[in-house]
Homo-oligomer: A and B are copies of this chain.
Amino acid sequence: MSEAVISEAALFALATKALAAGGMADADAALAARVLVLADMFGLRTHGISRIPQYLDRVRLGGIDVKAAVTTERVAAGLARVDGRNGIGPLVGMRALEAAMEGARAAGIGAAFARGSNHFGPIMPYAFLAAQEGFASIIASNATTTIAPWGGRDTRVGNNPIGLCVPNPGGDPILLDMALSVAARAKIRKLAEQGLPMPEGWAADRDGKPTTDPKAGLAGFLLPVGGHKGYGLAVMVDLFAGLLSDAAYLTHVQAWDKNPGVAQNLGHVFVLIDVAKLGGAEWLHARMEDFGSILASTPAADPDAPVMAPGAREFAAYARQRRDGVSVLQADLDAVVALAG
């Protein structure tokens, strides 16, 4: 597929315009565009501006309210509840991020629990923005069910993403953003299209039996990372992001791909910690650099594949694309240009 390179500013303006043309208020469109453009800059294309046509399709079908007035209710100095009122996910996510920042500024630690949301993009942009403001973060969301509970044979748990990030004043944060299946459904779909077998341990068929046939895996369910451990973590993320935030959870979450016209009521949780309260910038920078160098200097099993800190690859992509322009698929760019009108 052919590639296009576009400056960060131009991509941001275009994404904002497309979302506004789709019905969002300008300021809201800019907030949502910020998340999606950052995703592309980190190299996370499947969660970048390529999502705009999908989001606006769901708006057209009545599944998302593009005019939603997201509300924030402060329930304690450090704690806020956010109701996305079925708005565009990255808008709800940014509002929840702001509410959590406000709490963390006031109390040293702050959290926002968001309900009434939709797909909010990847976690990395939120964690990055929080790190730039001096906050360590734990951010998570629930999602459409694609995983079976451990020992079960029915998809009842989402492939829920969780991210953790610690800032490094004057350097790159260390940042993990992961979902809890061994492999993403998109990867399995690709193998099915290519007629290739699937590695063992990625998915089970509809009877819960291990399979290397990607089609049987797609008809069955994804396997969680580390068996019962990944299952347990996916459950806990749903409890924090979905149940505690008064959103839908487990099988109550509507599948956006099967029922695009129905509200999903996804939930997110944002926990931010003001690290300046724990020590000065020099103290933190020295420790983060030392920590990173202990990891990076580990003798590698394969000399051509050096050991990396979580997120290092994505921060390198960010720095490169900030300098040289953002690389996106031409087809994705064309679609957004068309929507921007």
Which residues of A are interface residues toward B (Cβ below 8 A)?
Answer: 75-79, 81, 103, 106-111, 113, 136, 138, 148-154, 156-157, 164-166, 174, 176, 178, 180, 182, 204, 207-209, 225-226, 228-233, 235-236, 238-240, 243-246, 249-251, 271, 273-275, 277-279, 283, 287-288, 291, 294-295, 298-302, 305-310
| Contact present for A298 and B154 (CB under 8 Å) | yes
| Contact present for A278 and B310 (CB under 8 Å) | no
| Contact present for B151 and A306 (CB under 8 Å) | yes
Q: Distance in Å from the Cβ of A33 to the closest Cβ of chain B? A: 28
A and B contact pairs by CB, cutoff 8 A, 10 listed? A78-B108, A148-B298, A149-B298, A152-B307, A164-B240, A178-B229, A182-B226, A226-B230, A235-B310, A250-B291
Instruction: Provide the residues of chain B in CB contact with A288, threshold 8 Å.
Output: 243
| Contact present for A291 and B249 (CB under 8 Å) | yes
| Contact present for A246 and B278 (CB under 8 Å) | yes
| Contact present for B152 and A301 (CB under 8 Å) | yes
A77-B77, A151-B300, A277-B79 are known contacts. Are A235 and B295 too (CB-CB below 8 A)?
Answer: yes
Instruction: Provide the residues of chain B in CB contact with A291, threshold 8 Å.
Output: 238-239, 243, 249-250
| Contact present for B166 and A310 (CB under 8 Å) | no
Q: How far is the CA of A294 from the CA of B154 in the complex (A)?
A: 11
| Contact present for B108 and A76 (CB under 8 Å) | yes
Q: Which residue of B lies closest to A155 (CB)?
A: B298
